[in-house]
Amino acid sequence: MRVPIDYVRTNQVRLAAQQLRAAMNAPENQRPKLMKDASDWLMSAADQHENEAARARQGFVAETEGPEAQLSTPEMMSVVISDLHVANTLMAAGTALQETEAKPNPQLLDQALVGLQQTATIDQETISAFAFTSTPVHSPDLPSARDVFRQRVTEALDEMVSLSKDACSSVISGLKKVDSQQALDALAKLGGPLAELPKMGLLFRKGVEKMQNALDFLKRMLDSAGLQEVKQKLTEIWSRVMDGTWANVLLDWIFRVDAIKGMLPRAATSDKFAADQVDMATGELTPVVERHTSEMNWAKAISAAVGFAGTILLGMAHVTLGTSALVLAGAYLLILGAIVLMGRDSAGHGSMFHGNRGVRAVVEGLIAA
Distances in whole angstroms, Cα of residue 198 to Cα of each of 39, 75, 138: 21, 30, 60
**Of all residues in the chain, what percent carry a pLDDT higher than 90?**
59
pLDDT of residue 333: 94
For 265, the 3-state DSSP assignment is helix
Which residue, among 174, 160, 131, 136, has the nearest Cα to 282 in the 3D structure?
136
Which residue, among 196, 216, 194, 202, has the nearest Cα to 313 in the 3D structure?
196
The residue-averaged pLDDT of 95-111 equals: 89
pLDDT of residue 179: 78
Confidence of residue 102 (pLDDT cuts 50, 70, 90): confident
What is the distance between the alpha carbons of residues 295 and 346, in angstroms, rounded to a whole number? 10
Identify whether the C-beta of residue 171 lies closer than 8 Å to the C-beta of residue 304: no
Identify whether the C-beta of residue 329 lies closer than 8 Å to the C-beta of residue 119: no
pLDDT of residue 61: 73
> What is the DSSP track for 284-351?
HHHHHHHHHHHHHHHHHHHHHHHHHHHHHHTT-TTS-HHHHHHHHHHHHHHHHHHHHHHHHHHHTT-T
- Residue-wise pLDDT for 236-279, tens only, equals 999 999 899 999 999 999 999 999 999 999 998 888 899 999 99
Identify whether the C-beta of residue 10 lies closer than 8 Å to the C-beta of residue 29: no
pLDDT of residue 289: 93
**Res 191 pLDDT > 80:** no
CA 55 to chain centre: 20
The number of beta carbons lying within 10 Å of the beta carbon of residue 199 is 13
Positive/negative CA dihedral, 126, 362, 344, 257: negative
- Alpha helix segments (H runs only) across the chain: 7-23, 31-65, 73-96, 106-130, 142-175, 180-188, 202-221, 224-236, 238-243, 247-255, 257-263, 275-313, 321-347, 359-364
For 137, the 3-state DSSP assignment is coil
pLDDT of residue 66: 58
pLDDT of residue 162: 97
pLDDT of residue 38: 97
pLDDT of residue 319: 53
What is the distance between the alpha carbons of residues 71 and 355, in angstroms, rounded to a whole number? 8
pLDDT of residue 3: 45
What is the distance between the alpha carbons of residues 45 and 148, in angstroms, rounded to a whole number? 53
Identify whether the C-beta of residue 319 lies closer than 8 Å to the C-beta of residue 327: no
pLDDT of residue 262: 95
The residue-averaged pLDDT of 214-226 equals: 88
Distances in whole angstroms, Cα of residue 324 to Cα of each of 2, 312, 332: 35, 10, 12
The residue-averaged pLDDT of 211-224 equals: 89
What is the chain's mean pLDDT, rounded? Answer: 87
